[in-house]
């Protein structure tokens, strides 16, 4: 039986190794990876994939370009008075009221106009690009998280789980594993439909396996079944120990996120979870003709908003929110102009949204660029490469060194100040070298002068200032500091008013926090 067919045809949960030829993975840095992700870091990343290509302009709406949008998509533009206003520049779809409450509580970050150069508008190809982290003109057969995990565990799946690594590395909630976790030979995620009703797979065969291609495939399937059953017991145990403190809506996405919260609550050591919401290929009937506030996209926005809100409230109620960051992604946005079927066609860049208490809440980037007279095929221009998001999350959330992240992404990326680390340390390569780095600035907002106050265990220190686009503007200081409290006066009269981010890096920790110039 074909391995891909084997996993897709079974309703039970198990891993999905695929015999694919992927990119070579450099051996350097494996031990550093091992320490950062496994021993010194209890963080969890939840990916919510919006399948089909979400219309970002109907999700996070540029109020400052409203007239231009109204001219370009008059048959589906939402009435301006019905848009939930975030600030003078930006608003939310009226179905995103729950997400607006997260935004007001600084538990939501919007990164404007994320995409990649030479956008491919095929669902399949663009999804491959997003899940692999590849350039548009190269085909990679490994996922960005698969390479991340394979660098730590090159022998996987053999001899897993074990006493050192008893938990699954990643879980795809549903019947199919995520390609984000595809390694060179095997997928590091397991497909899980219901953590409370896992049925063991039968593997009673005891006959000797012949040393033939058929025998090797048979041995592989037996190993897969044994591994699935072993992980199944661990997941079932976590599900029994866990709990949910929120009332979730009756939607498929909410059920997926509810299962994730249950397992995190139950102590499962899985670092990566992937959930999915489909239906975003809105070529027709994206809105109702007589009421653009309604329609298929409005229903999707409500489903997303209510599920994410319940999930975040669940984590918060159980004291787990500082361990979890959730982020959405979609293979592309939609075009600026609507079509004649009350819909939108395949476009380019779209916003990514992040949730949690350990992010720099608000907006990163400029309001989307809308031409005065966009062409029929025009999409939203890209501001940020999605690989910059991946790299920044790996560095600031999982504590992976920049050199290793570059190795995973096979390219340079621009650091983005998405994570604020909750005022705690972001571990480096050695968990014994972590410290609690306390840092803030006052006054904030500031006019011409502000003081950066910090407490450190001492050593080399670099403090850099970034603009709202994630560009490093200047190095405020780079020197060796003694252990203790320090104050650094910063003169910012040359800055234009707006939002900025300060990043402090020591030998043992890093910290990013927001600064506002008025």
Where is average pLDDT lowest: 37-51, 375-389, 474-488, 503-517?
503-517
| CA distance linking residue 327 with residue 23, whole number of Å | 26
Count the residues in the chain. Answer: 518
Residue 433 has pLDDT above 70, yes or no: no
Where is average pLDDT lowest: 206-210, 240-244, 404-408?
206-210
Q: What is the mean pLDDT of residues 286-311?
A: 97
DSSP 39: I
Contact 43, 271 (CB under 8 A): yes
User: What pTM was computed for the model?
Assistant: 0.77
pLDDT at position 302: 98
Torsion of CA 444, 445, 449, 454, to 10 degrees: 20
pLDDT digits (tens, 9 = 90+) for 212-237: 665 555 555 556 666 677 888 899 99
pLDDT at position 64: 95
Q: What is the mean pLDDT of residues 43-48?
A: 97
Element (H, E) at 229: helix 213-241
Q: For the chain, which domains are there?
A: 3-50+76-377 (3.40.720), 431-517 (2.60.40.1930)
Cβ contacts of 30 within 8 Å, gap of 6 or more: 151, 152, 154
Q: Which of 194, 129, 86 is nearest to 332 (CA)?
A: 129
Q: How would residue 427 be classed by pLDDT, with cut points 50, 70 and 90?
A: very low
| CA distance linking residue 21 with residue 184, whole number of Å | 6
3-state DSSP assignment of residue 52: coil
- Of the two residues 509 and 187, the one the predictor is more confident about is 187
As to burial, measured by CB atoms within 10 angstroms (0-12 exposed, 13-18 middle, 19+ buried), residue 4 is: middle
- Phi, psi at residue 322, to the nearest 5°? -75, -5
| CA distance linking residue 483 with residue 332, whole number of Å | 48
Residue 443 has pLDDT above 60, yes or no: yes
pLDDT at position 232: 87
| CA distance linking residue 83 with residue 455, whole number of Å | 43
Residue 421 has pLDDT above 80, yes or no: no
Q: What is the mean pLDDT of residues 180-208?
A: 76
Q: Which of 326, 355, 514, 511 is nearest to 427 (CA)?
A: 511
- β-pair partners for 486: 454
pLDDT digits (tens, 9 = 90+) for 111-123: 999 999 999 999 9
């Amino acid at each position: 039986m074909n391995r891909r067919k084997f996993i897709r045809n079974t309703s039970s949960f198990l891993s999905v190794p695929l015999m694919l030829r992927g990119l070579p993975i450099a051996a350097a840095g494996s031990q550093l990876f091992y320490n950062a992700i496994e021993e010194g870091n209890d963080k969890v990343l939840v990916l919510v994939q919006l399948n089909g290509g979400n219309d970002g302009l109907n999700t996070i709406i540029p109020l400052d370009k409203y007239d231009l949008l109204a001219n370009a998509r008059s048959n589906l533009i939402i009435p301006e008075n019905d848009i939930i206003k975030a600030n003078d520049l930006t608003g939310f779809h009226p179905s995103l009221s729950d997400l607006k409450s997260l935004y007001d509580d600084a538990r939501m970050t919007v990164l404007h106009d994320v995409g990649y150069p030479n956008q491919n508008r095929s669902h399949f190809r663009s999804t491959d690009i997003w899940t692999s982290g590849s350039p548009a003109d190269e085909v990679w057969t490994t996922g960005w998280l698969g390479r991340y995990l394979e660098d730590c565990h090159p022998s996987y799946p053999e001899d897993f789980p074990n006493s050192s690594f008893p938990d699954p590395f990643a879980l795809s909630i549903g019947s199919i594993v995520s390609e984000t976790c595809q390694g060179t030979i095997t997928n590091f995620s397991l497909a899980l439909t219901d953590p409370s009703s896992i049925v063991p797979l039968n593997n009673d065969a005891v006959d000797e396996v012949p040393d033939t291609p058929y025998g090797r495939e048979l041995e592989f399937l037996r190993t897969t079944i044994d591994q699935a059953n072993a992980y199944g017991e661990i997941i079932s145990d976590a599900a029994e120990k866990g709990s949910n403190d929120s009332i979730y809506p009756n939607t498929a996405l909410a059920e997926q996120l509810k299962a994730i919260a249950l397992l995190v609550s139950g102590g499962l050591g899985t670092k990566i979870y992937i959930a999915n919401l489909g239906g975003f290929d809105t070529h027709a009937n994206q809105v109702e003709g007589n009421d653009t506030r309604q329609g298929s996209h409005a229903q999707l926005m409500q489903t997303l908003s209510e599920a994410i809100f319940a999930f975040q409230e669940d984590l918060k109620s159980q004291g787990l929110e500082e361990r979890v960051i959730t982020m959405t992604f979609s293979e592309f946005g939609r075009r600026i102009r609507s079509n004649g079927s009350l819909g939108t066609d395949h476009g380019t860049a779209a916003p990514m949204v992040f949730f949690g208490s350990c992010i720099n809440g608000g907006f990163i980037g400029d309001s989307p660029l809308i031409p005065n007279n966009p062409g029929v095929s025009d999409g939203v221009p890209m501001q940020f490469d999605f690989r910059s998001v991946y790299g920044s999350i790996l560095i600031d959330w999982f504590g992976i060194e920049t050199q290793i992240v570059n190795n995973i992404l096979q390219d340079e990326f621009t650091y983005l100040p998405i994570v604020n680390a909750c005022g705690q340390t972001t571990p480096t390569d050695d968990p014994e070298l972590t410290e609690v780095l306390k840092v803030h600035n006052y006054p904030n907002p500031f006019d011409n002068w502000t003081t950066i106050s910090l407490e450190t265990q001492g050593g080399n220190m670099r403090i850099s200032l970034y603009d709202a686009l994630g560009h490093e503007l200047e190095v405020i200081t780079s020197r060796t500091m003694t252990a203790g409290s320090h104050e650094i006066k910063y003169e910012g009269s040359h800055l234009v008013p707006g939002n900025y981010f300060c990043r402090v890096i020591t030998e043992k920790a890093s910290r990013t926090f927001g600064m506002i110039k008025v």
